[in-house]
Structure 1
Amino acid sequence: MMKLSCQQVNYWLLLMLVGIQPVHALRITEAWQLALVNDPEFQSAIQASQASQEQESIGLSALLPKVTYDYQKSYNDSRVTSGNRSLERQYGSYVSSLSLHQPLLDYERWSVYQQGAAGAEQAKQLMRDQQQRLLLRLFKAYTAVLYHAELIELAEHQQRVFTEHYQLNQRLYQAGEGTLTDTLETEARLNLASAEKIAAQNNLDLSLQDLELITGTEVRIAELTPLLKKSGLVQSESNSYQDWLSLAIKHNAQLLAQNHSIEIAKHEIEKQRAGYLPRAAFIASYRNTYSDGESNYRQRYDTGAVGIQISVPIFSGGGTSAALRRAQAQYQQAINGKDLQYNEIRKQLRKHYNLLNSYRAKISAYQLAEQTQKTLIVATKSSVQGGERIKPDVLNAELQLRTVQRDLSEARYSAVSAWLELHYYAGLVDGKVLQQLASLFERR
C-alpha cells in the first residue's frame, strides 16, 4: 500500500483551504480576454501580420513620385599646369540639386504593388486563423485542467474504495474466511490507483502551466468554471458534412490565405515578365552649382530640366528568362499547395464530424449506464442488508460508477472539442461561437 508524501499532503491541504475561500471565477470569456493580450504566440502573430500588411504600402510607394534633394560642398586644392607655368588654386565649391522621378510606364512596379496588396489580404486571413487557433488552444488548456482535476478526484475515490476493501480482506483472511490472493489483488489495485493519482497530478500541473502561459496569469483550479453536465448545444448541432465543407470553402482562413498565395505567385510571374518590357518615367530636376569642376572655376550655373526617360531592355544574360521560369514553377507550387490544404481541411472536417457524432452516441450510452449503475448500487445495498450480497459487491459497484462517470466526462469534453474544431475548420470561430461556448460552462 502506497502512502502520500508530506509534500503531497500539504499540496492537497492547500487546495482544500483555497476551495473554502471566496475566489474570483475565471470564466472562459475572461480567460480569452487575457489570452488576447498575453499569449506570446498570438502576440508574435500580430507583429508578423502588421509587417506583412506594410508590403502594400511599400509597393504603392514605388508607383508614386520620388523627390530627392542632394547637396555637396567641398574645399579644393589643385595645381593647374600649362606648358612651363603652374598655378595653385584653393577654392570652395558646391552642388545643390532637386530632382523628381515619376514612373509613367513600369509594369514591374505595378506587379510589385499588386503583390503587396495580395500579401496584405493574405496576412489578414492568417491573422484571423491565428485568432481562431488561440481559442482552440485556450479551450484545450482550460478543459485539460478541469479534466485532470476530475481524474484526481476519481483516483482519490478509488483509493478510498480499495483501502476499505483491502482492510476488509485482511479481516476476512485473519478470521480464516478469506484468501491471501484476494488481499494481494486488492493491494495491487490500491497501488495502481495511487500511481494513477500521481500521473494525474503531473498532468494537472502541466495543464495548469499551459493555461498560465496562454493567459499570462497565475491560475487556481477553484477559479475555473466547470463544464455543464448536459451540453444541449452540442446535442442540437445538425449540419451535415457537406454543409461543413461548403462553409469551409467560403470561410476557412487558411484556405482563403492560400488563394492569396496563388495570387501573389501569379503577380510574381508578371513581375518577371516585365523584364522584357520598356519603361518610361517623367523626370524633372533643378541644379545650382558653383565651381564644381576645373572647367567652370569660379562660375555659377542654375540649370532646370524636364523630360521623359525611356529604358528598353535588350539583353540580360538570360537572367530574365530564368527568373520567369522560376516564377511559373512557384505558381504551380502554390496551386498544389492549395490542393493539399483543401484535402487536409476535408480530412479534418470528416474526422471531427465523425467524432462529434460518435461522442454524442457515447454520451447517451454513458448517461444510461450511469443511471443503471446508480440503481444497481441501491439494489446491491439492499441485498447486503438482506444477506444476499456481501459488502465488497457494493464497493465494486461504486467503483464501476466512478469509471462510467470518468468516461462520460471525457466524452463530454471531447464532444465540445470536436464541435469547436468543426467550427474552426469551417472558418466560423467568432464572437458568436465564443458566447455559445461560454454558455456550456456553469456560472459561479
Structure 2
Amino acid sequence: MFTRSIRHMALGAVLACSTALGASAQSLTDALVDAYKNSELIEQSRALLRSADEDVAIATARLRPILDYTASYAYTDSLTSEGDSAAIGVTASLLLYDFGRSRLRIEANKELVLATREALRDTEQDVLLNGVSAFLNVRLADDNVELRRNNVRVITEQLRAAQDRFEVGEVTRTDVAQAEARLAEANANLTSALGQQASAREVYRAVVGSFPNALSPPPPSPTIPGSVEEAVSIAERTHPSILQARHNVRASEIAAEVAERAILPSANAQASVTRNIRDRLDDTNDSSIGLSITGPIYQGGGLSAAYRQALASVDNARAGLNQSVLIIRQSVGIAWADILVTRATIDATRRQVEAAEVAFEGVTEEARLGARTTLDVLDAEQDVLDARTSLLSAEISAVQAVYDLLQSMGLMTVEYLGLPVPTYDPEVYYNAVSNAPATSTRGAALDRVLQSIVRD
C-alpha cells in the first residue's frame, strides 16, 4: 500500500539515523554519571556533612586543656607617681568532671553526623532520579517529534492524493480542504512537540550538565523485588530518610539527657603564670593553681524549661520518624502500582496500535474504492498517531516507575546501579577531624584530605 510504504520509509529513515549515531549516542549510564559528578546539590550536602564532622571535633576539644595568654601595658602620670608597666601571662584550664555531659554531647554530635550522611545519600538519590527523568523525558520528546514529523509527511502525501483526485473529479473541494486543515493541525502539533523537546533539553542540561546528543534507548530496568511487601521491608531497612530520622531520634534523646544533667556541678582545674614588668621597680612573677567546683543554684526556672524543651524535641523526632516510615511506605505502594499499571497499559496500547494500523489500511483501501471519504482516512491516521503516542508514553512511564520504586526503597544509589564513578567516602574526612587535630602531622594529613575532596 502506498501510504503504508510511506510510513515504513519514514520509520526506516529514523532507525537508520539512530544506527548511524549509535557510536556517539549517550546512554542512561552516561547521563547519570554526569549528573552525579556535576551536581551542586551533592556538593552542598557534602559540605554540610563536613561541617557536622567538625561539630564532633569541637565537642571533643572541650575535654582538652585550654590555654590562653594575656598581655597588657599601662602608663601612669599622677601627683604621686609616674611610669609605665606591662604584664604578660598564660592561663590554663581543664574540665575535670561534669557528670558525663561533655561526653554525651560528643555522642549526640556523632549521631547527627550519621543523620547528615543519610541526608547526603538521600540527596544523591534525588539527583540520580532527576537524571533518569531528564533522560527519559528527552527520549520521549525526541520520539514524539519523529512521530509528528512522520505524521506531517503522511498527511502531506494524503493532501497530494486528494488534490489529484479532485482534479479528476473523484472528490470534492471539501475533501481537499479537510486534508489541508489536518495538515495545518499536524504542523502545529509538530511545532508544539519541538517546543517540548527544547524544554526537555534545557532540563537535561540543568540536571546533567550539558545538552544531550543522540540518546540511546534505556537499558533493561534494574532488578526489583517480587512483591510490594518485600519492597516495603527493604525500604524500611535501607531508605536514608528513615535512617536519618532514627539518628535524629537518638541525638535528641542524648540531648535530653544532657539537659537533665545540667543541674549537676562541674569541676575544673586552673593554673596561671604572669610576669609583671614595672618602671623603676623590680619585675615580679605571679603564679597560681587551683580547683573549682561550680553549679547552678537558681536560674529562674530556665533549666527546667530547657529540659522540658528537650523532651518535646524527642517527641518531635519520634513523630518525624513515624511520619517518614508512613511516607516511604506510601511511596513504595504508589511506585509499585505505577509499575503494574504501566505494564498493563503497554500491553493494551500495543494492541491498540496494531488494530489502528489495520483499520487505517482498510479505510485507505475503501477510500480508493469510493466507499470512504478523505475525512475517514484522516481520522484513521489520527487514531494511529494517538495510539503510537500513547505507547511511547506508556513505555517511558514504565521505565520511570521502576526507578521511582528504587528511589522509594533507598536503592537509587551509585553502588546499586553499578555506575562507573568514584564515590565520596565520608569516613575519610571524619577520621581526619574527629579527634580535633590542630597542626603538626595530623594537620598535614588533614590538608591532604581536603585537597582530595575536589571535583574532577
TM-score normalized by structure 2? Answer: 0.78
> 1:241 maps to what in 2?
228
Question: Which residue is equivalent to 1:146?
Answer: 139
Residue 114 of structure 1 is aligned with which of 89, 107, 122?
107
Q: Is the 8 A contact 2:98 2:264 kept in 1?
A: no
The farther-off stretch of 195-204 and 22-31 is 22-31
What does residue 186 of structure 2 align with? 193
1:270 pairs with one of 253, 257, 267: 257
CA distance in 2, matches of 1:274, 1:322: 13
3-state DSSP class of the match of 2:282? coil
On the 8 A contact 1:106/1:280 being kept in 2, the answer is no
Q: Is the 8 A contact 1:261 1:334 kept in 2?
A: yes
State the distance in 2 between where 1:432 and 1:55 align. Answer: 29
Q: Quote the offset at 1:171 in angstroms.
A: 4.4
Residue 78 of structure 1 and its aligned partner are, at CA, apart by 4.1
> Aligned to 2:246, which of 252, 255, 259?
259
Displacement, 1:435? Answer: 4.2
CA contact 1:161–1:395 (8 Å) conserved in 2: no
Q: Which residue of 1 aligns with 2:449?
A: none
Q: Is the 8 A contact 2:56 2:109 kept in 1?
A: yes
SS across alignment from 2:342? helix
Equivalent pair of 1:245/1:346 in contact (CA under 8 Å)? yes
Q: More displaced, 309-318 or 179-188?
A: 179-188
Q: How does 1:72-83 map to 2 (within 5 A)?
A: 72-79=71-78
From 430, 433, 444, give the equivalent of 2:413.
430
Please say if residues 37 and 43 of structure 1, whose CA atoms lie closer than 8 Å, have aligned partners that are also in contact: no
Relative distance call for 1:184 and 1:324 in structure 2 (3 A) is farther
Q: Secondary structure at the match of 2:90?
A: strand
Change (3 A) 1:326 1:396: same
The question of whether the paired residues in 1 share the 8 Å contact of 2:87 and 2:277 is answered with: yes
Partner of residue 60, structure 1? 60
User: Is the Cα contact below 8 Å between 1:161 and 1:399 reproduced in 2?
Assistant: no
CA distance in 1, matches of 2:338, 2:350: 18
Q: Distance in 2 between matches of 1:128 and 1:238?
A: 21
Supply the distance in 2 between the matched residues of 1:21 and 1:321 (Cα, whole angstroms).
Answer: 71
Deviation at 1:147, TM superposition (A): 0.5
Matches within 5 A, 1:6-405: 24-62=24-62, 64-79=63-78, 86-173=79-166, 175-179=168-172, 181-220=174-213, 222=214, 224-227=215-218, 231=220, 233=221, 237=224, 239-281=226-268, 283-291=269-277, 298-305=282-289, 307-373=290-356, 387=369, 399-405=382-388
Is this contact kept in 1: 2:67–2:91, CA < 8 A?
Answer: yes
Q: Following TM superposition, by how much is the alpha carbon of 1:176 offset from its aligned partner in structure 2, in angstroms? A: 4.7
Unaligned runs of 5+ in 2: 1-15, 421-456
* CA deviation profile, 1:338-379 (whole Å, cap 9, x unmatched): 222222212211111011011111222333444455556677
Query: Identity rate of aligned residues, in percent?
Result: 21
Change over 3 Å in CA distance of 1:264–1:32 after alignment to 2: same
Q: After alignment, is 147-156 or 360-369 more displaced?
A: 360-369
CA contact (8 A) 1:107 1:277 kept: no
**1:407 matches 2:390:** yes
Q: How many residues align?
A: 404
Pick which of 254-263 and 385-394 moved more.
385-394
Of residues 427-436 and 155-164 in structure 1, the stretch that sits farther from structure 2 once superposed is 427-436
Letter in 2 for 1:207: A
SS at match of 2:80: strand
Q: How many Å apart are 1:413 and its aligned residue?
A: 1.2
1:329 aligned counterpart, secondary structure? helix
Partner amino acid, structure 2, of 1:227: P
Q: Which segment is superposed worse, 427-436 or 320-329?
A: 427-436
| Counterpart residue identity of residue 120, structure 1 | V
Counterpart-to-counterpart distance in 2, 1:141 and 1:260: 32
**Residue 174 of structure 1, CA deviation:** 5.4
Contact 1:147 1:410 in 2 (8 A): yes
Task: Measure the CA separation in 2 of the matches of 1:38 and 1:163.
Answer: 44
